[in-house]
Amino acid sequence: MQLLQLLVFPGLTFFVWIAFAFEWLERKTAARMQGRVGPMIAGPFGLLQPVADFLKLASKEQIIPKHSEKFVLTWGPPLYFAAPAIGIIFIPVIGNESIIGHPLDLLFVLFVLAFSTLMASLLGYSAAGRYSTIAVGRLVVQYTSYEIPLILSVISPAILAGNLSLGGIVSAQSNYWFILSAPIGFAVFIIASLAELEKPPFDIPSAKTEIVGGWMTDFSGNALAYVKLTKNLSYVFLSALAVTLFLGGPNGPVLFHQIILQYVMNTIYFMVKLFSVGFLIFVVKTALARIRIDQAAELFWTILTPLSLAQLGLVILLR
Amino acid sequence: MTLKDWARKKSIWVFDVNAASCNGCDIEILDAFTPRYDVERIGVVLVPSPRHADVLLVTGTVNAMMKDRLKTIYEQMSEPKYVVAVGACALGGGVYKGCYNVGHGVDKVIPVNLYIPGCPPRPEAIIFGILKLVTGEPPDPKEEE
C-alpha cells in the first residue's frame, strides 16, 4: 500500500503529470502575456504538448561528445531526476502527514535542493563544452548567492511551528498560515526559488542570448528529455515547498467528517495553492528581464540576506 | 499511428542557420514566431543548440567560409533530423548565382529534405513548409484554428 502511494498517488506519477501540466501552464502564461495563444493542437488546448516534447526527445538519438565524461553523462541525468523525485514525496498532500514522514525531513529536503545543483554542475562540466563550462561557473556563483537567503527563509516557519518536519509545520498551520507572520520570508523564498530554477531575472546560467543553451547545450535525446523533465519537477517541488511552509499545505477552510471526502478536499486545496504559486512564478518570470551575475550576487548578499535575517528576528520575537 | 510518430508530428524544434544570407529570410523565419503567426501553437520551438533540434532551417548561399561550419552543425544534430532550405539563395544561389565567391545552394553541402522558395518567402510559406515536411501532407485548416 505504501509502495503504491509512493509510486502512484500522491507520489511520483502524480507529480510527474503535474510537472507536465506546469510546463503547459508556463508556456500558455508566457504566450498570453505576449499576445500569442501558445500550444494549441497537441491534445485539448495543447495540454499534451509537454508530453509530446518528452516522448519525441526520448525517442531521438543521443549524441555523446568526444571529449566528455561518458560515465557521468550516461548516469547523471537519472540521478539528477532522482533529486526532486525523492524530495517531493516528503510533501504532505492528502493530509497533515506525508507518505514517509520523518521528524527531521526539512533538513533532508534542503539537502536535496543542494544535491540538485551539484548534479547540474557535474553534468555541465562532464559535457566539456565551452558554453557549458561558462554556464557552470555562473551556476556555482549564483548558488553561493541564493542558498543562504533560501535556507534563512525556510527557518522562519520551522521556528514558528517549533518543528523540523514538514508534517509538523503543516499541522501547526491549521489555524493561520505562516505567510501572515512571515510575509518577507515568503517573498525571499519565491525570489530564491526563481534563482534555483534558473528562471528570469536569474536565468544567468542558461542565458539563451549569451551562452547558447547554458549547461544543457551539449545534451541531446534521452538525456535532454530527463533534464527538461527534472527542471519541471523542480518547479513543482519548490512551489509545493512554498505551499507547505507558508500557505498551510493541504489545510483548507472547511473540515469534513468523512475521511475520504476530507482526503479529496485536501488534495483539491493543495492543488489550488500549488497552481497559484506556480502561476505567480510564471508571471514574474515572463514580466522581468535578465540581470547580470554580479547584480544577482549583490541583490542576494546585500538585500535579501539582511531581509531574511530581519524576518528571522521578527519571528523569534513573535513566538 | 504510433505514439512515437504522434510525438514527432506534434513537437518540432527548429534551429536556424544564417549561411551567408542577406538576413531577409531570417527575419521572415523570426516573423513566424511573432503573435501574428505564432508557430508555437503547432508545437514549433526555436532552440538555442543544434543538438536539441529536429529541423535545421538554412538560409543564404552557402559560401566557402560557411561550408565546413554548416557541415559541422548538421553532424551535431541527432537522428531523426531534417533540413529545410529557406529562400531563393539557399535553393540555388538566387541573385548571386554565377558569382565567384558564393556556393550554389544548400544541397551541394548537406542533404536537403524540403525547399521553400521565395525572396524572401512569407512566414505562411515557412509554416506550410515545416508542416508539410513533418506530416507529409498540407495542414488541415480546421485543425489549426
Which residues of chain B are at the A interface, by a Cβ-Cβ cutoff of 8 Å? 3-4, 6-8, 10-11, 13, 35, 38, 40-43, 47-49, 51-52, 54, 76, 78-80, 143-144
How far the first Cα of chain A sits from its last, in Å, is 39
Of the two residues A6 and A58, the one the predictor is more confident about is A58
Is pLDDT at B27 greater than 50 in this prediction? Answer: yes
List pLDDT tens digits, range A274-301: 899 989 988 988 898 888 888 888 888 8
* Cα separation, A146 vs A202, whole angstroms: 10
Which residues of chain A are at the B interface, by a Cβ-Cβ cutoff of 8 Å? 27, 31, 34-42, 46, 48-49, 51-56, 59-63, 208, 212-213, 216-221, 224
Q: Do B3 and A55 touch (CB under 8 A)?
A: yes
Is pLDDT at B137 greater than 80 in this prediction? Answer: no
Q: What cell numbers appear for B44 in the block?
A: 514549433
Q: Per-residue pLDDT averaged across B36-62, rounded?
A: 87
**Mean pLDDT over all residues of chain A?**
85
Question: Would you tell me which CATH number, out of the four given (3.40.190.10, 3.40.50.2300, 3.30.930.10, 3.40.50.12280), belongs to the domain B11-140?
Answer: 3.40.50.12280
Query: For position A108, what pLDDT does the model report?
Result: 87
Is pLDDT at A9 greater than 80 in this prediction? Answer: no
- Domains of chain B, by residue range, sit at 11-140
B14 dihedral zone (left: phi>0; alpha: psi -120 to 50; beta): beta
Q: Are A237 and A278 in contact (CB under 8 A)?
A: no
Query: For position B141, what pLDDT does the model report?
Result: 47
Query: For position B143, what pLDDT does the model report?
Result: 52
- Domains of chain A, by residue range, sit at 64-318
Percentage, residues of chain A above pLDDT 90: 3
SS3 A20: helix
The CA angle B89-B95-B96, to the nearest 5 degrees, is 80
* Cα separation, B72 vs B14, whole angstroms: 16
List pLDDT tens digits, range B91-134: 887 788 778 877 777 888 888 888 888 888 888 888 888 888 77
Query: For position B144, what pLDDT does the model report?
Result: 47
**Mean pLDDT over all residues of chain B?**
82
Query: For position B145, what pLDDT does the model report?
Result: 44
| Closest CA of chain B from A210, distance in Å | 10
Of the two residues A214 and A229, the one the predictor is more confident about is A229
Is the predicted ipTM greater than 0.90, yes or no? no
